[in-house]
Amino acid sequence: MKKLIMMSAGETSGDQHAANMFLEIKAQNPSIIAIGMGAKKMREAGVEIAYDSSEIGVIGVVEILRHYREIKAAMKIMKALILNHRPDLLICIDYKEFNLRLAQFAKREGITVLFYVSPQVWASRPKRVVTYGKAIDKMAVIFPFETAYYEAENIPVAYVGHPSVDKVKPLYTKTEARTLFGLNADDPIIGLLPGSRVNEIKRMLPVMLEAVVIIQKVFPEAQFLLPQADSISDVLLKPFLNNKAVKVIKNQPYDAIQCCDAVMTTSGTATLEIALLNIPMVIVYKLSPLTYLLARYLVKIKSIGLPNIIADKPIVKELIQHYASADNISAEILKILKDAVYYKKMQEALKQVKIKLGKGEGSKNMANLVLEMLAEENILVR
C-alpha cells in the first residue's frame, strides 16, 4: 500500500523547499506519494497540487486582508484533504499563521504533524513556541540557534540545516556568466532583487529603479541585472522596465547574482543567498503603514536582514520603510563600489555568515527526518 504525505506551502521559498525535500524523499522511497498546497516547483517535483498558492504568498496585515477570501478558500480545501485522504503525515512548510491553524486542525484529527521552518520566535513573541508545540509532533529548524527555544519547552526539535546552502550553486564561473550575459567586467555590475511576491515588486521595484537613475549619473556605463523570480510574471514586470540598462535574467538567479559587484535587495531569503555568494549588498524593505506599526511593536530584534541576524551584528546596511528611498539606496551602493576597504570588510563578514550556516544538505536531512517519523509511527511499508 502506497503511503501518503500531505504538504502545505504558501510562499515561493516554501514551494522550493518542499519540492527539493520531496525529490529527496522519492529518491529514497519512490512509493511515497504527496498531495497538498504549493506551486510550480512542487508540481514539477511530483506533488499533486490541490490548491495553487501562487496568489496567496503575501506578507503583512493589509495584504493578507486583501487576499482573505483566497486564503480562506485554501484553508477549506486543505482541511477537506485531511478529512478525505487521512494522510500519514502532514508537513507544514513555513507560511506560519496559515500552517499553524492547519496543524491544529490536523492534530485534532489525529494526524502526525511535522513543521518545517520555525516561526521567528527569536525576533518576536517567543511564547509562540508553546502554541506551536501543542499543534505539532516535531519542529524542523533551519538555523542552529533555534533549537534552544524548543528544547527549553521540551518540544521535539531537529536542526536540519538551511536549504539555501545547497541551493545556491551557480552553473558557471563568474567570468563565464559575465560573458554569457554580455557584461563588461570593467564597468560596475549592480543587481536588483525586488522580491518574489507581487506586492513586493509593486512596492520596491519603482524605488530601486529610481536609485538606478541616480547611480547612472555617477557611473554612466553601469550595468544592472534583475534576476526574475519564478513567481513573478513578465506581465507584472513589463510596465516598470523602461530603463534599457536593466537586463532581466530568467532561470539563472545565482549566475546573475555572482556577476554583480553590489546588490540592492529586499529583505528575505534572497539576502542569505547573496551572502552565500559573497556579494556586498544593501537590504531594503517597505511595508504598508499599518503592518509597519505592528511590526515595530512586535519585533524585538535590531536587525531584519538574515546576514545581520546570523552574524549577530550589523554587517550589511538596512534601509527600512521611509529610509528605503532612492537617494539612500543609491548612496549605499555607490559607497560599496567606491570604498575598497568598506567593500572588503563586508565580504569578510559575509564569509563568516556562510561558515555559521554549516555544510547544508537541508533537503536530504528533511527527507531523512520524514522517513524516520513515518517509521516511528509504524506506518511506512518499505
Same domain, 123 and 80: yes
Q: For 328-343, what is the mean pLDDT? A: 98
Q: For 300-307, what is the mean pLDDT? A: 78
Higher pLDDT, 4 or 243: 4
Same domain, 125 and 264: no
Q: What are the cell numbers at 35?
A: 498531495
Q: How far apart are CA 154 and CA 134, in angstroms?
A: 11
Above 60 in pLDDT, residue 379? no
Q: Are 146 and 170 in contact (CB under 8 A)?
A: no
Supply the pLDDT for residue 289: 64
Which CATH number is 8's domain given? 3.40.50.2000
pLDDT category at 380 given cuts 50, 70, 90 is very low
Residues making up the chain, counted from first to last: 382
Q: Are 57 and 63 in contact (CB under 8 A)?
A: no
Q: How far apart are CA 267 and CA 60, in angstroms?
A: 14
- Helix, strand, coil percentages, rounded to 5, for the chain: 50, 15, 30
Supply the pLDDT for residue 191: 98
Backbone CA torsion sign across 365, 368, 374, 377 = negative
Compute the mean pLDDT over every residue in the chain, rounded to the nearest whole number. 90
Give the residue among 150, 148, 144 at the shortest CA–CA distance from 132.
150
Higher pLDDT, 166 or 348: 348
Number of structural domains, the chain? 2
Q: Is residue 381 in a domain?
A: no
User: Per residue in 143-196, pLDDT tens?
Assistant: 888 999 999 999 999 999 988 898 899 999 999 999 999 999 999 999 999 988
Q: Report pTM.
A: 0.75
Q: Is residue 344 in a domain?
A: yes
Q: Is residue 146 in a domain?
A: yes
Q: For 214-232, what is the mean pLDDT? A: 93
Q: Coil, helix or strand for 7?
A: strand
Give the residue among 379, 21, 337, 52 at the shortest CA–CA distance from 187.
337
Same domain, 17 and 127: yes
Same domain, 367 and 343: no
Same domain, 108 and 245: no
Supply the pLDDT for residue 223: 97
- Amino acid type, 265: T
Q: Is residue 272 in a domain?
A: yes
> Residue 201, CB half-sphere, CA atoms under 13 Å: how many?
20
Above 70 in pLDDT, residue 299? no
Above 70 in pLDDT, residue 64? no
Q: Is residue 330 in a domain?
A: yes
Q: With 0-12 CB in 10 A as exposed, 13-18 as middle and 19+ as buried, what is 355?
A: exposed
Residue 226 β-bridge partners: 248
- Residues contacting residue 245 through CB under 8 Å, at least 6 positions apart: 212, 216, 222, 223, 224
Q: For 208-235, what is the mean pLDDT? A: 93
Same domain, 265 and 179: yes
Above 80 in pLDDT, residue 72? yes
Same domain, 110 and 187: no
Same domain, 214 and 108: no
Supply the pLDDT for residue 125: 73
Q: What are the cell numbers at 105?
A: 486542525
- pLDDT above 70 coverage of the chain, percent: 91
User: Per residue in 108-117, pLDDT tens?
Assistant: 999 999 999 9
Note the maximum CA span of the chain.
66
DSSP codes of every residue in 166-233:
HH---SS-HHHHHHHTT--TTS-EEEEE--SSHHHHHHHHHHHHHHHHHHHHH-TT-EEEEEEPTTS-
Q: Is residue 192 in a domain?
A: yes
Same domain, 183 and 68: no
Same domain, 121 and 225: no
Q: For 359-363, what is the mean pLDDT? A: 85
Same domain, 364 and 351: no
Q: With 0-12 CB in 10 A as exposed, 13-18 as middle and 19+ as buried, what is 168?
A: buried
DSSP state of 146: G
User: Per residue in 35-57, pLDDT tens?
Assistant: 999 999 999 999 999 999 887 76
Q: How far apart are CA 241 and CA 255, in angstroms?
A: 21
User: Per residue in 1-26, pLDDT tens?
Assistant: 688 999 999 888 889 899 999 999 99
Q: Which domain holds residue 49?
A: 4-163+360-376
Give the residue among 249, 306, 250, 313 at the shortest CA–CA distance from 281.
306
Supply the pLDDT for residue 382: 33
Q: Is residue 292 in a domain?
A: yes
Same domain, 196 and 153: no
pLDDT category at 314 given cuts 50, 70, 90 is very high
Q: Are 326 and 211 in contact (CB under 8 A)?
A: yes
DSSP codes of every residue in 319-361:
EEGGG--HHHHHHHHHHHHH-HHHHHHHHHHHHHHHHHH-S--
Q: Is residue 190 in a domain?
A: yes
Q: What are the cell numbers at 315?
A: 554587517
- Residues contacting residue 261 through CB under 8 Å, at least 6 positions apart: 188, 189, 190, 279, 280, 336, 337
